[in-house]
Each structure stands twice: as structure tokens, then as C-alpha cells.
Amino acid sequence: MAGWDQNPGSAIRSRARDTSSSEPHGQKHVVRVERVGTPVVGARGQRLAMAASRVRSRMIFLVLDALVLAVCYSLAELVYFRDRPPAHYAGRFATFLVIALVVQLTANHVFGLYGRMWRHAGIEEARQILLSSGASLALLVALYPVGRATHFVDAPLAVILVGAVFCAMAMGALRFHSRLFAWQRGSRRLGLRVAVIGSRDAGAAVVRDMLRNPKAGLMPVAVFDDDAGAHGLSLLGVPVVGGVDDIEEAAPRYDIQQVVLAIPSPPAELVERALRASEAAGVSMKIVPGVREMAGTAGNAPPMARVRAPHIEDLLGRTQVATDLEAVRRSIAGRRVLITGAGGSIGTEIARQVAGFEPSQLVLLDHDETHLYDTAAVVPGPCEQVLLDIGDRKAVFETMSRYRPEVIFHAAAHKHVPLLESHPLAAVSTNVFGTLNVVEAAAAAGVGRFVFISTDKAVRPRSVMGASKWTAEQVVLSRAPESAPYCAVRFGNVLGSRGSVIPTFARQIAKGGPVTVTDPRMTRFFMSVEEAVQLVLQASVLSKGGEIFMLEMGKPVSILELAERMIRLSGYAVGTDIAIDITGARPGEKIDEDLTASGEELLSTTHQAVYRLLPSALAPEDLDLALLELDECVATRNSELGRKSLFALAESAVFSEAVVDEVAV
């Protein structure tokens, strides 16, 4: 089909050009719309009709203003001379009235009162009315002495002042009458009865949004605030009836059907209290997102268009920390960047954020084609996709030689703790030897900056996953070129990542339970994937070479309390609607995660949320010997020996004898 155009857009443009070319040179093509019984109207006629419509609209306001001004000044004159017959002042007042009309109407034109859409008028339009009235009043007062001296204008100063005030009020009412009547109608409207938590700017914005948009079907009926000084007052006509803990008692009285938390970046304790109060009242709760969350969204959207259901992140009590994004940008902009494990949760977020810093080339590497494709689809800007397993040493070296990256983020790893307990050789092959392949290929290709994504489970590891990641840290430290900024970054659990406890709990709740918790004493550190990656990028800038960085993880979170919060967040009662079963700790799981191991010293850096560790490093010859032993285990498929070798290697630096015995059992 030789005549088929692969680009439909070009075909459309071609047809448009053909149509326009039929017109004589220099003559515009006129689109005609014909109706039965109606003459054909061209573009010029349409413009004339629109201009006539604008003139008609302005003339209507001009005439109405003239009538209003005449009435207002006449009323002021009649009140002032109420005990005298009109013959004493009518003639000279008529002259003043003409002058006042000319001055005020001219001021209205200057301040743009005849070219606005008053249906949507607000503070700015009200200000223009006041400015116009004030300017005309000032000019009339300035002319007052001249008029009195010449007897040309015989209007008392009180009449001028009072008449100007009357005129400003009347012109405002004339323009805002639709808004005033709409407010009256809104006070009697029906809709979802909403209570707002927060009486400051965010709360006022939410209340104002509901009042201005009656068609949305939302009616603010009460405001709650823990500030006792606000109780008994009203916010835009809505009463402030108490604190958050009063929601349950006030809900029946105000017939509350929904609660909106309108406090920017609320502390977790407040979110928890508000959620519990809403649950006790039998109503749902929504949250107005904070500034950071809205940064990448439609920030100009009205507040009620952005409200969302509470997320588990809102209840974990972690405060987002600031990052020196300019320093990160300088380290990435214009450079070739490669990310391994780009299809994973961390890798995807690294790719997304790195792409925003405008690297000259972004290479995404993963062994899973589906995840790799999905990541490339969400990355803003162009990227290269490389499908390979980092265990394939030859392919890794060929890739490094081909792309010659300048910065590498190595996130590829097996991370599932219980699963790797049954497959220790998979952990050794990918986490240890895969890292060895990547870091040695990077050094051979002259990569200038290398960041290895580690885990807090590498601290005093009791699992195969933790031990393999600790060994991988040693590989990075040992194989890094001298003085090159090659580093490892440790952090805890990432909210919502694949394999995380949170998606597991969500699936169990969706099925009606039970939610399984391994041990009621178990705690973990959590942070959002966005914050984790920001701090990883920050750590990469701080690296001078040979460091292990630990991110500030905040307070540990009880897994049992996390399960209870997620059940309540889903609208169920703990134990009544959804049960929690205690199943016992799985192989390799710790009760609590550690931040540092014995022999590791924690030092501060220039960033408050990034710490530098002085690690317990293995001697190069000991590491080489251990790697040979692990390689033999992989070659002979000896899983048990591979597992013991991993822990024996880690024990030489960070394990106490008691822990080794516990793990080896």
C-alpha cells in the first residue's frame, strides 16, 4: 500500500494544506456555518457580533452606574436639606451631579470596572471598586473649594462624602448581587455534611472551596481545632465546635457525614487521633495533602479536589527531610548514568529521580523484561534498556564497555528474607558475585562514582539475605579504585515495595483476614521510597570513597501496631471484623533491626539524615579466600555449605559467637 501514510497527523496536516491552497493568494479561507433560515456569517461578522456584545455589556453597566450614582447623591442631598424646599438647592446640585457622574464613570473606566466577568468576582474586583470610588471622592473633594468659591457648585462636603460611600456600596451590590444571592441559596442547600479539622489557612481554604462550589454537593457544618481559643468562634460562618476528641460527641448534633483533616503535614499522633475519632463517630475521614506531596500535581486545583483517603505513611510518624537537590543535580547533570535492578521498587524510583536531573544518558538494567519495560514507561525522558542478569560476568563487562557510564547506582539484588533462607546459593550468585561483576566491570570501565544499595539487615546479619549484602559491601570496599567515590548505603524497609509487609497486610485485609504477624514484639524501620532515594542520591554526593552510609531511619515501628493501624485505616475493627494471628518468627527474621554492629563507628556528615560508618573491613586476602570458597559452593550446588560460609565470613568482623551459634542452628 504505497499510498498509506504511517503518520496520521501528517496526513491530516496535508489535507489541511490542500484545502487552504484552493483559496486565492492572500485571501483567508472562511469557515461557514449554515443554518436553515439563517444568513451565512463570516469570520468578520462573528468578530463584529462579539464586539457588539462586549459594547452592549459595558453600556448596560455604564447606564446602571449612572442611575445608581444619581440616586445615591440625590438621597444624600435630600437627607442633608430635608427641611428646605428644593428650589433653594436643586439648580446648583444638578451641576454638581453632572460633574460627579463624569468623574466617577471616568474613574470606573480607568480602574477597569467595565471589562470584567462579575459572575466570578472576588477580592481583586472589590478592591478595584473601592479604588475607583476613592479616586473619584479625592478628586471631588479637591474641586470642592473651587466650586464653593465660584458658587458654580453648591453641594456641601457632607453630601459629597456620604454620597460617595452610598455610591461605592451600590456599585458593589450591583456587581456582586449574583454572588450574594448564591450565598443565600448556598446556606439552604443540601449535600454531604462535612466537618473540617483545622481552623487556620488550610482549613479556611477547604471551607471556602465548599462554599464557593455548591454544585459539588459538599456542605461545611462544623470545624474542630485543638486550639481552645478558637472554640465558640466561626470560620467563614461555620462554627468551631471543639477539639478533635469532640468529634464523636458532636457528630450526631451536626449530622456529620465526613471529616476532612486540613492541617499541612500533620503529625502521626494527630492523624491517629482524628482517625479514631472519625471511626468512633461512624464517619469516613479524608486528608488534604501537604505541600511536598502536591509539588508534582496540579497545585492550582481547589483543596477539595485534592483530598484523599489516609495512607499508612500518614500514621508512621516519619517527617520528610530536606535534600540538597542542587548538589545532586551537579553530580548527575550531563553525565552517563547506569542503574542496575532498575525494575525494582528502589531502582524505578532512582531512575525517575535521576532522569529529572538531566543526565546525558540514562541506562536501565534488569533481568526481568516486564519490570524493566514498566520502569522505562514511567521515566521522564529518553533511556536505554538493557536486559541481562548481573550474574553473567561477560555480559556485564560488555555492557560497561559499550555504555561507559560515569555514575552507577547498583540496586540489583535478591531481597526476600524467608525465601533466600531456602535458596542461599541464589543470594550468593546475585547479591555477592553479581555485585563483584558490576563493581569490577565499573572499575575497568573507569566509572567515576558508584553507589551500592545495601540494607539495615546487613548489620549483625541473622539471615542469608543480610549476610549476602554484608559480604557485597565488603566486595565494593575491596574492589573500588583507590580514592574513587565508591560507597554503600544502608537503610530499612521501604513503604509499599514489593515483598514489603505493607502490601502483604493489604492483601490479607482485602480478603477479609486474618492478618498474620510473626511476633508481637517485632519492630522495623520504615521510610518512603521517595525519601530513601533522595537520601541515597545525597549520600552519593557526600562520598569520598570507601564509606558505608546509614540513612536516618527515625523510630522503629511495631509490626503489630502497624497491622492494627492498617485494619482501622481500611474501615474495619481490629479483632471484630479482621483478626490478627501470631504465627511465630520465620527463618532469618530478627525481632529488632540494628543500626550499627560491634566494631562499627557511626559519624555525622554535613547532612542531618545521612551518617557515615567506619566499617569493620575484611583483609583483602581473607575476602578473596572466602569468595573462592563461595564460588566452589555455587559450582557444586552445595546450599548448606554456602549458607555456613556466608555466616562464617560475616562472623569474622561483626558477629559474636552467641549469634553465630544461634544462626547456625
Would you list the DSSP string of 488-545? EEE--EETT-TT-HHHHHHHHHHTT-PEEES-TT-EE-EE-HHHHHHHHHHHHHH--S
Spatial contact of 568 and 507, defined as CB atoms under 8 Å apart:
no
Specify which of 156-160, 505-509, 570-574 reaches the highest per-range mean pLDDT. 505-509
Last residue of a domain, one of 151, 184, 217: 184
Residues 282 and 404 both lie in one domain: no
| Per-residue model confidence (pLDDT) at position 446 | 93
* Nearest Cα residue to 122 out of 53, 196, 67, 182: 182
Give the C-alpha separation, 187 to 184, whole Å.
5
pLDDT tops 90 at residue 385: yes
pLDDT bracket for residue 14 (50, 70, 90): very low
Q: What is the pLDDT of residues 620-634, one digit of tens each?
A: 888 999 999 999 999
The CA-CA-CA angle for residues 420, 424, 430, to 5°, reads 85
Nearest to 264 by CA among 232, 295, 236, 239: 295
Degrees to nearest 5, angle at CA 287 with 283 and 292: 170
Looking at the structure, tell me whether residues 286 and 177 fall in a common domain: no
Residue 13 — pLDDT band, cuts 50, 70, 90?
A: very low
Write out the catalytic residue numbers: 457
Check if the beta carbon of residue 569 is closer than 8 Å to that of residue 310. yes
**pLDDT of 38 above 50:** no
- Please indicate, yes or no, whether residues 179 and 224 belong to a single structural domain of this protein: no
Q: Do residues 169 and 199 share a domain?
A: no
Higher local confidence (pLDDT), 20 or 623 = 623
Q: Residue 384 domain-assigned?
A: yes
Which SS3 state, helix, strand or coil, does residue 256 take?
A: coil
Residue 2 pLDDT > 60, yes or no? no
The DSSP code for 428 is I
166 plus 200 within the same structural domain = no
| pLDDT value of residue 203 | 86
The strand pair at 234-235 and 238-242 is best described as antiparallel
Where b means 16+ CB within 10 Å and e means fewer, 535-557 reads: bbbbbbbbbeebbbbbbbbbeeb
The DSSP 8-state label assigned to residue 409 in this structure reads: E
CB 80 within 8 A of CB 65: no
For the chain, give the percent of residues with pLDDT over 90: 31
Residue 570 lies in a domain: no
Judge contact between 449 and 338, C-beta under 8 A: no
Q: Which three cell numbers stand for residue 660?
A: 553465630
> Cell for 189?
442547600
- Looking at per-residue pLDDT, the higher value among 128 and 361 belongs to 361
Judged against a pLDDT cut of 50, whether residue 30 lies above it is answered with no
Tell me if 551 sits within 8 A of 488, measured CB to CB: no
Question: What is the reported pLDDT for 204?
Answer: 87
69 belongs to a structural domain: yes
Give the pLDDT score at 25: 40
496, pLDDT greater than 70: no
pLDDT in tens, 332-341: 999 999 999 9
Angle, in degrees to the nearest 10, between helices 157-187 and 90-110? 50
- pLDDT top residue among 149 and 101: 101
| Cβ-based neighbours of 654, under 8 Å, separated by 6 or more | 459, 460, 461, 470, 597, 598, 599, 600, 616
89 pLDDT higher than 70: no
Query: Does residue 189 surpass a pLDDT of 70?
Result: no
Residue 442: pLDDT band (50, 70, 90) is very high
At residue 435, does pLDDT exceed 90? Answer: yes
- Are 297 and 431 in the same domain? no
User: Residue 125's pLDDT band (boundaries 50, 70, 90)?
Assistant: confident
User: What pLDDT does residue 373 have?
Assistant: 94
Q: Are residues 167 and 208 in the same domain?
A: no
pLDDT of res. 529: 84
- When pLDDT is cut at 50, 70 and 90, the band that residue 348 belongs to is very high
- C-alpha to C-alpha distance for 199 and 201, rounded to whole angstroms: 7
Of the chain, the end-to-end C-alpha distance in Å amounts to 72
pLDDT at 374 over 90: yes
Q: What is the mean pLDDT of residues 254-269?
A: 86
Same domain, 470 and 540: yes
Query: What is residue 236's three-state secondary structure?
Result: coil
CB–CB of 365/340 below 8 Å? yes
Burial class (CB within 10 angstroms; exposed 0-12, middle 13-18, buried 19+) of 284: middle
Residues 552 and 595: beta-carbon distance below 8 Å:
no
CATH of residue 340's domain is 3.40.50.720
Cα separation, 400 vs 387, whole angstroms: 13
Residue 327 pLDDT > 90, yes or no?
no
| pLDDT surpasses 60 at 7 | no
User: Coil, helix or strand for 574?
Assistant: strand
**Residue 656 CB contacts under 8 Å (≥ 6 apart), including other chains:** 598
- Considering only 314-318, 357-361, 541-545, which range has the smallest mean pLDDT? 314-318
pLDDT higher for 362 or 531?
A: 362
- Is the same domain home to 269 and 341? no
- pLDDT value at 664 more than 90: no
* For residue 475, pLDDT beyond 70: yes
Question: Which of 481, 448, 461 minimizes the C-alpha distance to 616?
Answer: 461
φ, ψ for residue 577, nearest 5 deg: -85, -45
Mean pLDDT value across the chain: 79
- Is the preceding peptide bond at 418 cis, omega within 30 degrees of 0? no
pLDDT digits (tens, 9 = 90+) for 525-580: 888 888 889 889 999 999 988 889 988 877 888 889 888 888 887 778 888 889 99
Residue 504 lies inside a defined structural domain of this protein = no
C-alpha angle 92/93/98, rounded to 5°?
105
- On whether residue 201 sits in a domain, the answer given is yes
Domain enclosing residue 151, as ranges: 45-184
What was the pLDDT predicted at 632?
Answer: 94
Arithmetic mean of pLDDT, 232-241: 86
- Asked if pLDDT for residue 144 goes beyond 80, the answer is no
Kindly report, residue by residue over 578-621, the tens digit of the pLDDT.
999 998 877 777 788 777 776 677 788 888 888 888 777 788 88
Residues 95 and 149 in one domain: yes
- Alpha-carbon span 210 to 338, nearest angstrom: 48
User: What's the rounded mean pLDDT across residues 17-44?
Assistant: 42
If one counts every other C-beta atom within 10 angstroms of the C-beta of residue 246, the result is 15
Average pLDDT over residues 491-503: 76
Q: How far apart are CA 236 and CA 551, in angstroms?
A: 44
The verdict on 338 and 301 lying in the same domain is: no
Q: What is the model's pLDDT at position 26?
A: 40
pLDDT of residue 602: 78
Tell me the C-alpha distance between 496 and 571, whole Å: 19
User: Considering the entire predicted model, what is its pTM?
Assistant: 0.64
pLDDT at 426: 95
Q: 409: left (phi > 0), else alpha (psi -120 to 50), else beta?
A: beta
Residue 137 confidence class, pLDDT cut points 50, 70, 90: confident
Last residue of a domain, one of 144, 164, 184: 184
pLDDT at 253 over 50: yes
Q: Are 481 and 623 within one domain?
A: yes
Please state, as a whole number, how many other Cβ atoms lie within 10 Å of the Cβ of residue 327.
Answer: 16
Looking at the predicted structure, is the pLDDT value of residue 523 above 70? Answer: yes
**How many separate domains does the chain show?**
3
| Pairing relationship of beta strands 610-614 and 547-551 according to DSSP bridges | antiparallel
424 pLDDT higher than 90: yes
Task: Please give the backbone phi and psi of residue 607, each rounded to the nearest 5 degrees, phi first.
Answer: -110, 130
Residue 20 within a domain:
no
**Is it the case that residue 190 has pLDDT exceeding 80?**
no
Last residue within a domain, chosen from 132, 167, 184: 184
Query: What is the Cα–Cα distance from 410 to 473, expressed in whole angstroms?
Result: 11
Q: Is 241 helix (H, G, I), strand (E, B) or coil?
A: strand
pLDDT band with cut points at 50, 70 and 90 for residue 638? very high
Rounded Cα gap, residues 380 and 382, in angstroms: 7
pLDDT digits (tens, 9 = 90+) for 651-663: 776 543 333 333 3
Report the pLDDT value the prediction gives residue 27, as an integer from 0 to 100.
Answer: 42
Strand 284-287 and strand 258-261: the pairing is: parallel
Let me know: does 410 contact 450? Beta carbons within 8 Å: yes
In-domain check, residue 339: yes
- Whether residue 460 is contained in a domain is answered as yes
Which of 83-87, 304-308, 519-523 ranks highest by mean pLDDT?
Answer: 519-523
Q: Which of residues 116 and 547 earns the better pLDDT score?
A: 547
